[in-house]
């Protein structure tokens, strides 16, 4: 009898121990979370490398890495003294051309006035010639002078067209210099944070050479990879849960939105662990996440769809 009671107590003890072992699994099952995320990846941001559009010394360039800059802000200036001198020379040239044009117009006005007077004289001589009161020599002389002056006026007006074209060329050269001066002012293209700075103030900027790198970090993208079997469950605009490491044993939960799904499969990147490790072909998916400062470029993240 004592042995029977002892066996019963041992059975109860074993069942109690087994129950305590299965409680976590039961809780997990009830919560609907198998403890694994659907996709893994790394955070990335749209980075813009701003390059110099003018060549010369950076007389102003005070941005620093880690600082936030608004779109349209003036962040630096390349020396424009040479361009300013060139612009002054072009304005002087334009003034000289304008003076030449004014003189030609004045010359045409004088010639046209002479032609009006000569026309009156020509008509008078012609009437006298028709009345046999003037000789043919007189008529031919006045007609010849009139014809020569008419050709001179045509030739002078041709100079107006040529000088006007010269004026247009100078105006275009001034416009070109103005554009070069505009490019000497470094304007920040996007709202973002400076990631890297490649030149310092008083160094020489070269056209096409990178000045700094900037990225928008208030919204950051998590690129993850999903298998073909997961793809039907992923849709554009879908709200998802994003998890990032908080401590060794806990994660921070964030809200995310699917903004892009690749239309082509690719081989699984070596750095990514997918839900089904046996799957070789996966699809890239981008999830946009609001960043309160916790998220960094390159940080790993997980998604539950």
Rounded-to-integer distance, Cα 227 and Cα 234, Å:
11
Beta strands 281-290; 266-267: pairing state? antiparallel
Q: Residues 182, 183, 184, 190: what is their CA dihedral angle, to the nearest 10 degrees?
A: 110
Phi and psi for 237 in degrees, rounded to 5? 85, 0
Domain regions of the chain by residue span = 58-78+185-214, 81-183
Length of the chain: 305
**Tell me, what's the pLDDT at 13?**
52
Whether 251 and 244 have beta carbons less than 8 Å apart is answered as: yes
Rounded-to-integer distance, Cα 193 and Cα 47, Å:
10
**Tell me, what's the pLDDT at 267?**
78
The residues, ordered by sequence, that sit 6+ positions from 148 with a Cβ below 8 Å of its Cβ are: none
**Tell me, what's the pLDDT at 248?**
78
The architecture that CATH gives domain 58-78+185-214 is: Beta Barrel (2.40)
**Tell me, what's the pLDDT at 170?**
96
| Average pLDDT value over all residues in the chain | 86
**Tell me, what's the pLDDT at 35?**
58
**Tell me, what's the pLDDT at 297?**
93
**Tell me, what's the pLDDT at 3?**
42
Whether 304 and 241 have beta carbons less than 8 Å apart is answered as: yes
pTM given for the model: 0.67
Q: How far apart are the first and last CA of the chain?
A: 59
Whether 61 and 201 have beta carbons less than 8 Å apart is answered as: yes
Place of tokens 């100078």: 170
Q: Which residues of the chain are under the pLDDT cut of 70? A: 1-35, 270-280
Determine the Cα angle at 74 with ends 70 and 77, to 5°.
150
Print burial letters for 123-149: b (CB count within 10 Å at least 16), e (below 16): eebeeebeeeebeeeebeebeeebeeb
């Amino acid at each position: 009898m004592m042995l029977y009671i002892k066996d019963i107590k041992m059975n109860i003890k074993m069942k109690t121990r087994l129950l305590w072992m299965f409680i976590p699994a039961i809780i997990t099952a009830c919560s609907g979370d198998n403890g694994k995320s659907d996709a893994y990846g790394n955070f990335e941001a749209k980075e813009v490398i701003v390059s110099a559009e003018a060549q010369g010394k950076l007389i102003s360039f005070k941005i620093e890495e880690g600082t936030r800059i608004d779109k349209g802000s003036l962040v630096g200036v390349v020396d424009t003294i040479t361009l300013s001198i060139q612009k002054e020379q072009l304005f002087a040239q334009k003034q000289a051309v304008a003076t030449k044009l004014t003189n030609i117009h004045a010359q045409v006005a004088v010639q046209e006035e002479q032609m009006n007077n000569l026309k009156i004289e020509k008509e008078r001589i012609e009437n006298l010639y028709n009345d046999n009161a003037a000789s043919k020599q007189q008529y031919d002389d006045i007609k010849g002078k009139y014809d020569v002056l008419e050709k001179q006026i045509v030739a002078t007006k041709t100079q107006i067209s040529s000088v006007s074209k010269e004026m247009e060329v100078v105006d275009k050269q001034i416009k070109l210099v103005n554009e070069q001066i505009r490019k000497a002012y470094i304007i920040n293209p996007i709202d973002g944070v400076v990631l890297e700075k490649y030149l310092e103030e008083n160094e020489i900027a070269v056209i096409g050479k990178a000045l700094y790198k900037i990225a928008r970090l208030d919204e950051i993208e998590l690129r993850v990879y999903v298998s073909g079997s997961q793809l039907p469950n992923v849709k554009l605009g879908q709200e998802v849960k994003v998890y990032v490491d908080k401590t060794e044993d806990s994660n921070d939960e964030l809200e995310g939105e699917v903004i892009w799904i690749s239309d082509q499969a690719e081989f699984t990147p070596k750095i990514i662990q997918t839900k089904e490790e046996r799957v070789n072909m996966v699809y890239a998916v981008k999830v946009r996440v609001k960043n309160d400062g916790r998220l960094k470029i390159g940080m790993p993240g997980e998604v539950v769809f």
